[in-house]
Amino acid sequence: MLSSADKEIKIKDVKGKLGVLLPGLGAVSTTFIAGVLAIRKGLAAPIGSLTQMNHIRLGRRDNNQNPLIKDFISLVELDNLSFGAWDIFEDDAYESALNAGVLEKELLEQVKDELSAIKPMKAVFNQKYVKKLDGPHVKQAANWYEYFQMLREDIRNFKKKNGLDRLVMIWTGSTEIFLQRSAIHETKAAFEQAMKENHPDIAPSMIYAWAAIAEGIPYANGAPNLSADFPAAYEFADEMRVPLAGKDFKTGQTLMKTILAPGLKARMLGIEGWFSTNILGNRDGEVLDDPESFKTKEESKLSVLEHILQPELYPELYKDLYHKVRINYYPPRKDNKEGWDNIDIFGWLGYPMQIKIDFLCRDSILAAPIILDLVLLLDLAGRTDFKGIQEWLSFYFKSPIHAANLYPEHDLFIQLMKLKNTLRFMAGEEQITHLGLDYYLDN
């Protein structure tokens, strides 16, 4: 096991201001921004955020050393965050948060001045990639390469205007249509050429990611579209020493799945079928009502069980598993999704049982703390000189990006262990394996 002693880790000073760039100023991003502003004012608590609330054990259990993560490793203080965004609509963050209807007006009024000051920059957008949306606040250029240059300009101006020391970018824009990797995604040279030729296999989210990498900015994708999940982007990120993370925030039904499935598997219980259906009525739900955007989401949601359950190793338990995921757009529900799961399981001697879940979930409330943690941890990764795919951040994603020779790790508890051990490693602390062998051997 690599320990900090084998490789000297130096974390750069955290001082200064960190800019948070968000392509997409909708429900999730405004809930995140308004939440941070409210927490700064002491109006609410950062519930759901590991970086703000979780403790980390150091050394043996009898040492009783369990500092808060934020006291243990250098993370940017919430007061030192500044927010910037792009959107295809002109609404500022206050108006957009009101439209999204996630947070109560009373809370929004208390942070109205700061929210109103966040006005989105013109977006790189093409309706071909999000069929259900169209908006007037968009850039005009001849090809993707020109759009890329315009975004770089936006980023530099934002940094200068706000006196920022560093930046991170998180894609919080709509889910784009399903695109597969093609030859243009293979190398950096091929991708840059394709940008100049305005290639149809390139979508706007890729241009934002490319601009972030070019500017040396850590990047994460909160949606399931490719964005930065292809070899050319990995190559470019390695070259620029930029951390990358993604895809698709792990909230709601998939969060439940990755909590429950490892438990059922740990006890060697079989699963015959898992049927998941949702109703939701926000703009995300409307976008996902388009079959092409839904296909992108579906791929992301379906892969989870396959990887956790390993049917190739446990054919008697999981080979015939029937897994179905449905999302239904139902406007009256707004952002308050309801997700039902019916799970047909079997136990000793093959006897069947059923589990039913009815999760009355608030999507953006679950996603906002994920954004906060990713902002702070990606900045930490950047200051630690970690480059390329940040697998230790898989904890936050439905479809964790991963190296070509590895399968993605979906089990929430393995992901958590990996995240915390990476923090220990960065800080020069011993990694915790939970073995405790010295106890048996000493006695």
Ligand X SMILES: NC(=O)c1ccc[n+]([C@@H]2O[C@H](COP(=O)([O-])OP(=O)(O)OC[C@H]3O[C@@H](n4cnc5c(N)ncnc54)[C@H](O)[C@@H]3O)[C@@H](O)[C@H]2O)c1
108 contributes a contact to ligand X by CB under 6 A: no
User: Per CB under 6 A, does 103 bind ligand X?
Assistant: no
Longest distance between any two alpha carbons in the chain, whole Å: 74
For residue 89, the Cα-to-chain-centroid distance in whole angstroms is 23
Instruction: Confirm or reject binding of residue 24 to ligand X (CB under 6 A).
Output: yes
The minimum distance between CB 205 and ligand X, in angstroms, equals: 7
Buried (b) or exposed (e) across 423-440, using 16+ Cβ within 10 A?
A: bbbbbebebbeeeeeeee
Nearest to 118 by CA among 52, 258, 265, 20: 20
Helices then strands, each counted (H, E), the chain: 17, 11
Q: Which stretch binds ligand X (CB under 6 A): 68-76, 233-241, 276-284, 317-325?
A: 276-284
The amino acid present at 291, given as its one-letter code, is P
Residue pointed to by tokens 């500017």: 215
243 binds ligand X (CB under 6 A): no
Of positions 18, 100, 164, 206, contacts ligand X by CB under 6 A: 100
Pick 100 or 417: Cβ nearer ligand X: 100
- Contacting ligand X (CB under 6 A), which of 278, 364, 384, 421? 364
Should residue 366 be labelled a site residue for ligand X when binding is judged by CB under 6 A? yes
Alpha-carbon distance values, 381 to 55, 164, 168, 288, 399 (Å): 19, 18, 11, 32, 20
26 φ/ψ sector (left φ>0, alpha ψ -120 to 50, else beta): beta
Cis, peptide link before residue 247, omega less than 30° from 0? yes
- Nearest approach, Cβ of residue 288 and ligand X (Å): 7
Find the binding residues for ligand X in span 40-79 (CB under 6 A). Answer: none
> Shortest approach of ligand X to residue 86 CB, angstroms?
4
Any contact of residue 339 with ligand X (CB under 6 A)?
no
52, 221, 251, 384: residue in contact with ligand X (rule CB under 6 A)? 251
CB of 152 to ligand X, least distance (A): 15
Q: Is 173 in the site for ligand X (CB under 6 A)?
A: yes
400 binds ligand X (CB under 6 A): no
Q: Can residue 284 be called a binding residue for ligand X (CB under 6 A)? A: yes
The CA–CA distances, whole Å, from 281 to 245, 256, 333, 370, 427 equal: 28, 20, 5, 22, 44
Label each residue of 207-242 as H, E or C: HHHHHHHHCCCCEEECCCCCCCCCHHHHHHHHHHCC
Residue 336 in contact with ligand X, rule: CB under 6 A: no
User: Least distance from C-beta 390 to ligand X, angstroms?
Assistant: 18
Ramachandran quadrant class, 35 (left: phi over 0; alpha: psi -120 to 50; beta: rest): alpha
- Rule CB under 6 A: choose which of 130, 309, 389, 401 binds ligand X: 130
User: Is residue 246 a contact point for ligand X (CB under 6 A)?
Assistant: no
Kindly tell me which residue out of 56, 367, 389, 417 binds ligand X, with binding defined by CB under 6 A.
367
433 phi/psi in degrees, rounded to 5: -105, -10
Choose, by CB under 6 A, the member of 14, 18, 28, 264 that binds ligand X: 28
Beta bridge partners of 178: none
Closest Cα to residue 223, out of 442, 24, 18? 24
Q: Which of 94, 147, 158, 249 binds ligand X (CB under 6 A)?
A: 249
Residue whose C-beta lies closest to ligand X? 26
Q: Which is nearer to ligand X, 361 or 380 (CB)?
A: 361
Give least dist CB 138 to ligand X, A: 8
Phi-psi region of 410 (alpha: psi -120 to 50; beta: other; left: phi over 0): alpha
Asked if 174 touches ligand X (CB under 6 A), the answer is: yes
CB of 386 to ligand X, least distance (A): 24
Q: Does 410 participate in binding ligand X (rule CB under 6 A)? A: no
State the Cα–Cα distance between residues 435 and 186, nearest whole angstrom: 42
Q: In this structure, are residues 346 and 297 in contact, taking their beta carbons and an 8 Å threshold?
A: no
**252 near ligand X, rule: CB under 6 A:** yes
What is the nearest approach in angstroms of ligand X to the Cβ of residue 171? 8
Q: How many residues sit in the footprint of ligand X (CB under 6 A)?
A: 37
Among 298, 341, 363, 409, binds ligand X (CB under 6 A): 363
- Using the rule CB under 6 A, is 114 a contact of ligand X? no
Asked whether position 368 contacts ligand X by CB under 6 A, the answer is no
Burial class (CB in 10 A: 0-12, 13-18, 19+), 113: exposed
303 binds ligand X per the rule CB under 6 A: no
Binding site for ligand X (CB under 6 A): 23-29, 86-89, 100, 123-125, 130, 133, 135, 172-175, 204, 222-223, 248-249, 251-252, 282-284, 287, 363-364, 366-367
